[in-house]
Amino acid sequence: MKKKWFVVWMVTFFVILSIPTLFPSEKANAQGKPIVIGSPLATAFLYGWDAERAIKLAVEEINAKGGVTVSKEKRPFKVEVMDTRDLEPVVPVNDALLVVEKLILEKNADFIVGGPVRSEAALAAMDLLSKYKKVSILTTGALTPAYHKRIEAEYEKFKYCFRISGEVGWMVSGEFIPCLMGIKEKFGLNKLFIMVQDVAHARAGGDIVAKIAGEKGWEIVGKEIYPTGTTDYSVGLLKAKEGKAQVILIWMDMPETAILLKQWYDMKIPALPFGTIIAAAEQPGFWKATEGKGEYCMASVVNAGNAPSKATPWTMKFVEAYQKKYGLEPEGYGTSSSYMAVYVLKDAIERAGKLDSDAVVSALEKTDLMGVYGRIRFNPKNHQIIPSVDPNEGAVGTIFQWQAGKRVVVFPPKIAMGEIKLPPWMKK
């Protein structure tokens, strides 16, 4: 009897021991010393938390497939995320810099992927990255052209900085203006009212749009600048109505813009809301949050893949993987670019064969792969991703419109899933 129990216990013991080999974990697949990715992100805001989720998804996928091949060794990625809080009102830029430094010195980050998210903080962090010679791929938030212009102006100093998402210059000239011209042509609209947030990228973006749109036959009937955290837009909307605006161009990354859209609907302002950057409207939860009042709002999510489309074969695979893991579609700007940054970094490290910053910089400059939002290549002079309206040529953006509870991609034409519609109270 005792012998029988001994056998039963031994069998149970070996079965328990063998469980990990039957269901291999990610760690089991990816051996070796982890490569640490430090991610400074404003995690309380869309552009921070979606980036965090996307980076973790990519890392999980890569580790599950064995990790990164460095020389002949397989090494896993490890992510260290720290909250920069740089999208919050009144939080000084210095706080974000402390986070970047902490990631480098305390968390021993080998690479920085993600933010800082606010343009001002991202620009200030460049000197730190240069000081520590840390390769950084900016994936979310900061859209200021000053970022890549600084790299181009002082290449040797800032060569460790790359940006895999968009920048205002291209977005305005290559996406917003052509999209506005399409609206002008299709519906005969030509009066533009501009509403921007009081932050560097939005003020600059609003000015550039106003200048170029004005040159292209749009009449700018007004411009309002709102402090971060504004919760009432009624007077500005009435100004737009009085000025007979037909399109309201919105450039704001604060969540309170949902209020703007609710007020626009309640007041039945006869102008199409075109959110060039409008964090609130980007997210899948926007429809529910505005109880459908945000219908017809257009929004740019900067890169394809941040809303469902068939830009490349990888786009919907990414959308589905994200949806499977987090229970909702990719949420907005910063999602697909953060995801791709990890894959691009993996590719560069493998080609470089080591983690040495200069070698990885050189490899990143030679990146050429078909990603979630088109062909991924960096301009070797300024380390900005090369944009295009054709996914076979470069990184494509996405402008969608909320239609019947869905984010329908309407620009660029090569990846469009539907056409722009006007709200019923605008139709003559």
Partner 1 sequence: MDILIYGIVNSFSLALMAIGFTLVYGISRLPNFAHGALYVITGFGVWWFIHKLHLNYALSIILALVLMGLIGAGVYRFVLIRVRGMATSEIIATYALGLAILEFLRWRGFKGMTYTLPVFMEGSIQLAGVPIDLQRIIVIGIGIVVISFMWLFTHYNKIGLALRGMAQDEHAAMMLGIDSDWMAIIAMAIGSILAGLSAIVLLPLGNIVVEAGYNVLILSIAVCIVGGLGSWVGAILAAFMIGFVQILTVRYIQSHFHMVVALLAIILTLILRPSGLFGRQKELEERV
Of the candidate spans 45-53, 99-107, 244-252, 316-324, the one that interacts with partner 1 by CB under 8 A turns out to be: 45-53
Footprint on residues 171-230 left by partner 1 (CB under 8 A):
198, 224-227, 229-230
Among positions 122-151, residues that touch partner 1 (CB under 8 A) are none
100-125 core/surface letters (b: 16 or more CB in 10 A; e: else): beebbeebebbbbbbbbbbbbbbbbb
Residue 188 token pair: 């005969």
CB 297 within 8 A of CB 261: yes
CB contact at 8 A, 282 and 331: yes
- By CB under 8 A, residue 259 contacts partner 1: yes
CB 3, min distance to partner 1, A: 55
* CB contact at 8 A, 415 and 308: no
Site for partner 1 (CB under 8 A): which residue of 172, 208, 258, 319? 258
Distances in whole angstroms, Cα of residue 354 to Cα of each of 11, 65, 132, 159, 362: 45, 19, 17, 18, 12
Judged by beta carbon, residue 212 or residue 259, the one nearer partner 1 is 259
Under 8 Å between Cβ of 352 and 362: yes
Which of 24, 285, 405, 413 contacts partner 1 by CB under 8 A?
285
**Least Å from the CB of residue 234 to partner 1:** 5
Cβ distance to partner 1 smaller for residue 298 or 344: 298
In angstroms, give the least distance from the CB of 59 to partner 1.
21
Q: Which residue number, 86 or 224, has a Cβ lying nearer to partner 1? A: 224
Selected from 136, 144, 263, 401, the binder of partner 1 by CB under 8 A is 263
Would you count residue 424 as binding partner 1 (CB under 8 A)?
no
Other beta carbons less than 10 A from residue 223's beta carbon: 18
Specify the pairing of strand 406-411 against strand 399-403: antiparallel
| Cβ contacts of 183 within 8 Å, gap of 6 or more | 189, 247, 272, 274, 420
**CA proximity to 163, closest of 185, 145, 178, 177:** 145
Angstrom distance (rounded) from CA 428 to CA 424: 9
CB of 283 to partner 1, least distance (A): 7
* Distance separating alpha carbons of residues 292 and 273, to the nearest angstrom: 14
Q: Which of residues 62-91 bind partner 1 (CB under 8 A)?
A: 88-90
Q: Can you tell me which of 200, 267, 359, 422 binds partner 1, judged by CB under 8 A?
A: 267
Report how far residue 281's alpha carbon sits from residue 73's, in angstroms, rounded to the nearest whole number. 44
DSSP 296: T
Residue 316 contacts partner 1 per CB under 8 A = no
Applying CB under 8 A, which part among 109-117, 259-267, 298-306, 378-386 lies near partner 1?
259-267
Asked if 118 and 94 count as a contact pair (C-beta separation under 8 A), the reply is no
Tell me the site size for partner 1, rule CB under 8 A: 40
Query: According to CB under 8 A, which one of 131, 268, 366, 381 is a site residue for partner 1?
Result: 268
Instruction: Report, in Å, the least distance between residue 49 CB and partner 1.
Output: 7
Question: Which of 173/323 has CB closer to partner 1?
Answer: 323
Applying CB under 8 A, the span of 22-30, 38-46, 204-212, 408-416 interacting with partner 1 comes to 38-46
Question: Among residues 116, 236, 334, 412, which is the contact residue for partner 1, using CB under 8 A?
Answer: 236
Chain residues in the site for partner 1 (CB under 8 A): 43-46, 49, 88-90, 198, 224-227, 229-236, 238-239, 255-256, 258-259, 262-263, 266-268, 280, 283, 285-286, 288-291
